[in-house]
Amino acid sequence: MYNRQLITKQKIIITDGIVGGGKSLMCNLISSLPKVDQWMLNYWFDQIAALCDINEINLNTASYILLTNHNQIFYDSSMLRLSNFRKSDLTAVNSHPRYKIIKKRLQPNDQKIYSKFKDHIFSQYCTHISANFSEPFFKAFKKNLLFIQLLRSPLNIGMLKHLALWSKKWEKLKSRDGCIKFYNKKFKKNFPHYVADVSNEYLKANKFEKAIIILEQIYNKRKINLSKKYEKKYGSKLIRVPYENLIVNPTKYLNKISKVLNVKIDKIALKAMKRNNVPRKFILNNHDEEGKKYMHNKIDKQYFKRLTKLNDYYKKFILNK
């Protein structure tokens, strides 16, 4: 039924992570590499993958929509039609470490600009909690896709606060977020589609317990490795990045990414690391103890046990693997 191809052979980078999981840092570091554009928050990317996950659209349709829309975005981005120039925003193109080069694409004549720069642009998207149902991305972009799966310790206080805050925002009928949600008539609240299997428990829980339930869905042993399966199936490239390792040794992961992109870490990338305060000191045991202390009186005992168990799994199978 569908037959469409990508208009460019350039790599397409998707960085996926948890709310408060460090995506801004990861995307900023990737943006510092040669040819990589400023990262974009396209919520419809999240929505298309989610709608496929809940069988509202099929995989072929989801991948077709992603591919065709990317083609349009890539063309428009080549001449900065979609760029954000609000310097106070994280995604501002004029804050990009290579803005002096990028701003040359503001010149007139669409076709000339596109022809000149089309082979020197790596698109970079940022998605939210989509890795466990990410097959549409892999099917759409195949060998052109570099998928970065950013993960973070379940005991991180900042991430837990973010998830708790958003769990309340996601409940509202009027909200600006792009999360695909279901509505529960009994509780008269919305909830994210990926907690549908445990929605009754989720809606009864307090905001920090909700955060733990969300993390349990993300670190589900059966689902968390699906991206690895898709990598092999479609010939894409997956790089899994534990946040705690990233901040201690960012060069390790930028080397992996730059190798896939066939570019080199230069002075601009090194300056970006310094500007983003990496590498930095990090003591895991202190971090975990602070997280346990913060959460101890905020959740029921059973949730505290589940949180520590989840963190043990994270350390053994993700952080230390």
Cα separations (Å) of 235 from 10, 58, 93, 146, 227?
15, 21, 31, 10, 12
**Per-residue confidence at 176, pLDDT binned at 50, 70, 90?**
confident
Q: Which residues contact 153 (CB under 8 A, 6 or more apart)?
A: 159, 243, 244, 284, 287, 288, 291, 311, 314, 315, 319
Amino acid (1-letter code) at residue 216: E
Query: Rounded to two decimals, what is the model's pTM?
Result: 0.96
pLDDT at 32: 97
- 3-class secondary structure, 86: coil
Within 94-218, residue ranges assigned H as helices are 99-102, 110-117, 135-141, 157-169, 199-204, 207-218
For 306-315, write each residue's pLDDT tens digit.
Answer: 999 999 999 9
pLDDT at 1 over 90: no
**What ranges do the domains of the chain cover?**
9-153+221-282, 155-218+283-321
- Contact partners, residue 135, CB within 8 Å, separation at least 6: 49, 52, 59, 226, 230
**How many other C-beta atoms can be found within 10 angstroms of the C-beta atom of residue 132?**
21
Check residues 201 and 176 and name the one with the higher pLDDT. 201
* Burial of residue 273 (number of CB atoms within 10 Å: 0-12, 13-18, 19+): middle
3-state SS track over 283-299: CHHHHHHHHHHHHCCCC
How would residue 5 be classed by pLDDT, with cut points 50, 70 and 90?
very high
Q: List, for residues 212-228, the tens digit of each pLDDT value.
A: 999 999 999 989 999 99
Omega before residue 34 within 30° of 0, cis: no
Please state, as a whole number, how many other Cβ atoms lie within 10 Å of the Cβ of residue 173. 9
- Of 47 and 2, which is predicted with more confidence? 47
What is the sign, positive or negative, of the torsion defined by CA atoms of 182, 53, 42, 259?
positive
Relative orientation angle of helices 207-218 and 157-169, to the nearest 10 degrees? 110
- 3.40.50, 3.40.720, 2.20.25, 3.90.400: CATH of 9-153+221-282: 3.40.50
What is the rounded distance in angstroms from the CA atom of residue 123 to the CA atom of residue 106?
17
Considering the chain, what percentage of its residues have pLDDT values greater than 70? 100
222-257 pLDDT, tens digit each: 899 999 999 999 999 999 999 999 999 999 999 999
Q: How confident is the model at residue 290 (pLDDT cuts 50, 70, 90)?
A: very high
